[in-house]
Homo-oligomer: A and B are copies of this chain.
């Protein structure tokens, strides 16, 4: 029999009534002939309540105890959904991460799934049971302790389970009805995508589109899990298909650009007149990496005049996460003499806009079109990075809407009026 994984997030299981709605979605798929594994999050608000208690007990909390407390939210929902399915006359049972087991690293609070043994789940399918799996949680084998996968971790649980049991597809039910060409709250002309490739979705998730946890897309891509993003608020008797995340080859009418993402969690740092000598990049970015500060875009402009006799210097501009900005500035100020720069400047009122599309691989000049269009609108570009299937520009935050709309139209993404 074909297998299916269905995942429901916190808002979809927030009340017993909504859990009944989820059960109706599950019943539809069981009646369609699937062996179904359902992955559930904690009831909306519960995780925040638990995290609040943890922080009240200990500000600098032990992440192992955090995981023990917070994983209980998914435990509750898994049992309640199993009961609701039974009430509808379906055989069902709950599975905690450690019961399957779902084994993870010991990076408590943001653990990575290392393996899922499908044997016990398979035995359950053979007994005709729906498997209701507590998402977000697993166990570290050596210590036997509960782990959690970080915010959005239930997406990752779902895709990993789908890979482990060889599911035909993985349906991620959420409070939006699919993946859009950009955020519809900013661009009313945004279109829902019918299909998007793994690579594109990975970039979108990394670049601030919060539909799926990045790690879940990575696993889907590696294991080729056909994953749908769809709405849990659709009528269970007549649901829409949502957006399919799949291999590039499945997408027949390939656009050059598939979507425009943006991230406001960026900050820009510029070091003026850095001595332009070998090893200077290492002197700057080594200490930042040692402090767990991720650097994203980097541009370097030679500022010393060639042939003037003065030693050559360069301006280094790069971006970090806004949350790391103060720490990065502190660190760089302390390293002023070692790095040998003249001044450090920073800005947090910036946004990174990205255009993503596998079609860029075969089309030259895609980014150049954007630079011209933005210039015509008077949008100043502070930094640029490009990769095989995306390019990003760093601009003033005030220009976010203007820039997103401009690029959305430029690449033909607006829906027909």
Contact = CB atoms under 8 A, between A and B. Distances in A.
Contacts of A72: 72-73, 75-76
Nearest to A64: B93
A58 interface: yes
Nearest to A143: B99
A98 B68 CA distance: 13
Given A75-B75, A98-B98, A54 B83 contact: yes
A287 B178 CA distance: 61
Contacts of A68: 75, 78-79, 82, 94, 96
Contacts of A19: 57
B83 A57 contact: yes
What's the dominant secondary structure at chain A's contact region? Answer: helix
A23 B401 CA distance: 52
A69 B65 contact: no
Contacts of A75: 68-69, 71-72, 75
Interface in A337-365: none
Contacts of A94: 65, 68
B69 A16 contact: no
B79 A16 contact: no
Contacts of A61: 83, 86
A54 B82 contact: no
A16 B61 CA distance: 14
A125 B246 CA distance: 51
Contact of A86 (B56, B58, B76, B96): B58
Contact of A16 (B50, B57, B78, B82): B57
24 contacts: A19-B57, A53-B80, A54-B79, A54-B83, A57-B80, A57-B87, A58-B86, A58-B87, A62-B82, A62-B83, A65-B82, A65-B94, A66-B83, A68-B78, A68-B94, A68-B96, A69-B76, A69-B80, A71-B75, A72-B73, A72-B75, A72-B76, A98-B98, A99-B145
Interface of A: 16, 19, 50, 53-54, 56-58, 61-62, 64-66, 68-69, 71-73, 75-76, 78-80, 82-84, 86-87, 93-94, 96, 98-99, 144-146
